[in-house]
Amino acid sequence: MLTIKRYIHDVMYDERNDALSRLARPCLRVVSYLYAVLVASNHFFYNVSLLKSYRVLPLVISVGNITLGGTGKTPFAIMLAKRLSGKGKKTAILIRGYGEDEWKMLENKLKGQGIEIFVGRDRVKTAGEADRRGADTLILDDGFQHRRLKRDLDIVLLDSANPFGNRRIFPRGILREPPANLKRAGLIVLTKTDKGKSNVAAVEKELENIAPHVPVARALHRLAGLFELWKGAEQDISALKGKRVCIFSAICDPGYFRYSVESVGAIVHPELVFPDHYSYGVEDLERIFSKCRAENIDTVITTEKDAVKLRGFLPGEDFLRILVLSVEIEITDGEEKLDDALRRLYVRDSRKRR
């Protein structure tokens, strides 16, 4: 499915080289210069207090990135919230809520664990609501560029397989701000280090030059389970080995989803990719079912983020199962760096409150 949004995405990732993309690149480069000036101006105004930042009573931990999505912010926020809740912290997550997929997925993953989710564009307002509800720690999902709410710790995620894209600022590239701004971070986490393992050492060396005083940890998306979309029945992931399956997704990095499915030995064909945050309709499911029928495939796999948008539809045809792949962030190296950053954060806070 080729849309304008997908086409621009491919140009930003340098994945197209047709006449139109060659014409579009100079135009996007001009816009990216203007965008870079706006970003730099915004940070300058906050740095010199011409724009006001607001502090709230709870501690604020931002989980963000410097690229356009696909680094695993939401799974990391879930992992961090569980970690802090397990240590007795009254934790809440603040999310802008670009689409219902992300906050609905948060609700599903954190149900019954006492971790509240506050959705809204005004992070200062939602932080105040969480404070009034008794939260002592707030996790700001996608907050590295959000300077209006002061934070106590900035955790920045980088996709180890593609940390900076083509190194150009949006919309010519995928950078939301220059890599030099990683100096603002309190901890950098390289994600997807299974897929990007050949790249990790080089990225870490570059980070030593960019932000030498910022600790770096490594993480990957661990496959946590497989379940049927409508019935909820758990399935054995190992049963996918050697099995031909269809996959579909509407996420920022469909390539890593495919990598994850193939990592357990499944044979992926066909694959359907929809734009990020896409709202599925009945016709989309019919298209998927039709492709599977034609290819004699009885198993379809999608992501948890996509699953929350499909639950309202009637179950598919009997021969066809839609399975949902569940993933969790796992820190594989440098877990002590995260623990140390959190420990120092709460020590400072306890001293401040005396």
In this predicted structure, the answer to whether residue 2 has a pLDDT above a threshold of 60 is: no
- Helix or strand or coil: residue 186? coil
Question: How far, in Å, CA of 322 to CA of 345, rounded?
Answer: 43
> Which of 105-114, 161-170, 257-266 is least confident?
105-114
Question: How far, in Å, CA of 158 to CA of 214, rounded?
Answer: 13
Once rounded to an integer, what is the mean pLDDT over residues 90-115? 88
In this predicted structure, the answer to whether residue 193 has a pLDDT above a threshold of 90 is: yes
Domain with CATH 3.40.50.300 in the chain: 59-215+334-352
pLDDT at 319: 64
Question: How far, in Å, CA of 61 to CA of 153, rounded?
Answer: 5
Using an 8 Å Cβ cutoff, are 261 and 301 in contact?
Answer: yes
Domain 222-327: give its CATH architecture.
Answer: 3-Layer(aba) Sandwich (3.40)
Using an 8 Å Cβ cutoff, are 115 and 18 in contact?
Answer: no
- Helix or strand or coil: residue 271? strand
How many helices (H) does the chain have, and how many strands (E)?
10, 12
In this predicted structure, the answer to whether residue 100 has a pLDDT above a threshold of 80 is: no
- Helix or strand or coil: residue 153? strand
> Which CATH code of 3.90.980.10, 2.60.120.560, 3.40.50.10800, 3.40.50.300 fits the domain covering 59-215+334-352?
3.40.50.300
Per-residue pLDDT of 228-272, as tens digits, reads 998 889 999 999 999 999 999 999 899 999 999 999 999 999 999
Using an 8 Å Cβ cutoff, are 304 and 105 in contact?
Answer: yes
In this predicted structure, the answer to whether residue 37 has a pLDDT above a threshold of 50 is: yes
Using an 8 Å Cβ cutoff, are 96 and 69 in contact?
Answer: no
- Helix or strand or coil: residue 92? strand
Q: Largest Cα–Cα distance in the chain?
A: 69
Say if residue 171 is preceded by a cis peptide, omega within 30 of 0. yes
Question: How far, in Å, CA of 36 to CA of 31, rounded?
Answer: 9
Mean pLDDT across the chain: 92
Once rounded to an integer, what is the mean pLDDT over residues 204-218? 98
pLDDT at 352: 64
